[in-house]
Structure 1
Amino acid sequence: MTFLPKDPNSMRTPTVILAVVGIAACSAATPDQAPAQTPQNRQANMVIATGCFWCTESDFDKVPGVLATTSGYIGGNTANPTYEQVSAGGTGHIEAVRVIYDPSRVSYATLARHALRTSDPTDGGGQFCDRGDQYRPAIFFGDASERKTAVAATAEAAKALGKPIATDILPRTRFFSAEGYHQNYYTKNPLRYRYYRLSCGRDARIKELWG
């Protein structure tokens, strides 16, 4: 299937990317490094995937203690992947979001739990209307402590739902920021974003699962 360049002002669909005349060219994703931690600048970061990164950004920006979010790609073998490459599948990347947070206000454990409760962790084939490995849910860890925390969060979710959890727990690898028009899409295009989220059935499924 051929995937056409995505218009920053178009609605997202699970199976095809629409092109609009006059679309501005977008640059390829570039590797992005999180800010270093210092005593004067207490920041930590994690990467999570809950399907559409527009929605993930929106969900995590609402969490007290989250300082910034960046949509991007992680886990694949292609250098500087583009949205068209990742969404078409085959690069090994997952749509994900890097979350910068203040660990004195919110913990990795709380954010991992939030990822599970703002997604369908029982579905490993994608999320909601977005299908394929590139949309599968995942929590990434940077060390053994974070891995242990993520495992505990998924075990808690399995107990709460009474179902197996399909959310992957994966070592954190190189993260590439997505093209600029994807960043904060939900604030730049609120009407289109809300229509996409509603038509994709995300909130309805989350309510069905989690109440």
Structure 2
Amino acid sequence: MEKATFAGGCFWCMVTPFEDLPGIQGIVSGYMGGHIENPTYEQVKKGTTGHYEVVQITFDSDLFPYVKLLQLFWPQIDPTDSEGQFQDRGPQYRAAIFYHTDEQKQLAIQSKQELIDSKVFKKPIVTEILNASTFYLAEEYHQDYHKKNPKHYKEDRAMSGRDEFIEANWNNRNGK
């Protein structure tokens, strides 16, 4: 089993795209990249710890290669926004790919370059590619939030602007 870690704004919205796919063994929400140990949600949401809200995916690369995870990741975000994602503003909501191996790093760089070369976006692609550091598991109430609190999750997602952005910028790109 391998790990893949992605930041794409609110971690609640980054779980569902990767669920129920062959080879995906687990998805957990957490924090990565900051300067304090064992951060809490209350600390991270202030935007002062340096952590990103992330999802960490455990996967079988023989059944679901890392490159496929990257192909799913990009259309979940606004890769041109360095200040957060959609309604979620602040450094803790920035988009990033955290690589765990040299191969993941190279594939992430290649996928970012392909997006830049596609010229789909007029603004620069600013999503960072960073070395994975210590992963801190988010509090239990954040795990599978969309299943535990479906009404609130749907309302929050609907207000975020994420789905409208995806429809306008990604679905049309893929011929949908």
Corresponding residue to 1:75 among 19, 33, 37: 33
Equivalence for 1:195: 155
The question of whether the paired residues in 1 share the 8 Å contact of 2:32 and 2:53 is answered with yes
Corresponding residue to 1:174 among 126, 134, 137: 134
Distance of 2:30 and 2:98 partners within structure 1: 13
| 5+ long unaligned stretches in structure 1 | 1-42
Distance of 2:168 and 2:20 partners within structure 1: 21
Pairing 1:183–2:117 present: no
CA offset digits 1:160-198 (Å, max 9, x no partner):
314421110000000000000000000111111011000
Q: How far apart are residue 47 of structure 1 and its match?
A: 0.6
| 5+ long unaligned stretches in structure 2 | 172-176
Distance of 2:80 and 2:63 partners within structure 1: 29
The TM-score with structure 1 as length reference comes to 0.77
SS across alignment from 1:134: helix
The TM-score with structure 2 as length reference comes to 0.92
Please list every run of at least 4 consecutive aligned residues from structure 1 whose deviation after the TM superposition is greater than 2 angstroms. Answer: 62-65
Distance of 1:98 and 1:128 partners within structure 2: 21
Question: Residues 162 and 205 from structure 1, CA distance in 2 versus in 1: closer, same or farther, beyond 3 angstroms?
Answer: closer
SS across alignment from 1:80: coil
Segment drifting more, 104-113 vs 45-54: 104-113
SS across alignment from 1:88: coil
Pairing 1:54–2:8 present: no
Aligned alpha-carbon RMSD (Å) = 1.2
Equivalence for 1:135: 93
Q: How far apart are residue 73 of structure 1 and its match?
A: 0.2
CA offset digits 1:59-95 (Å, max 9, x no partner):
2114432111000000001111000100111100000
Q: How far apart are residue 119 of structure 1 and its match?
A: 1.1
SS across alignment from 2:15: helix
Question: Which structure is higher in helix share?
Answer: 2
Point out the structure with max Rg over C-alpha: 1
The question of whether the paired residues in 1 share the 8 Å contact of 2:3 and 2:100 is answered with no
Pairing 1:94–2:52 present: yes
Distance of 2:148 and 2:38 partners within structure 1: 24
Pairing 1:207–2:158 present: no
Corresponding residue to 2:2 among 39, 44, 49: 44
Equivalence for 1:111: 69
SS across alignment from 1:45: strand
Segment drifting more, 147-156 vs 177-186: 147-156
Pairing 1:123–2:81 present: yes
CA offset digits 1:101-130 (Å, max 9, x no partner):
111111111112211111111111100000
Question: Residues 82 and 62 from structure 1, CA distance in 2 versus in 1: closer, same or farther, beyond 3 angstroms?
Answer: same
SS across alignment from 2:22: coil
SS across alignment from 1:99: strand
Distance of 2:67 and 2:83 partners within structure 1: 24
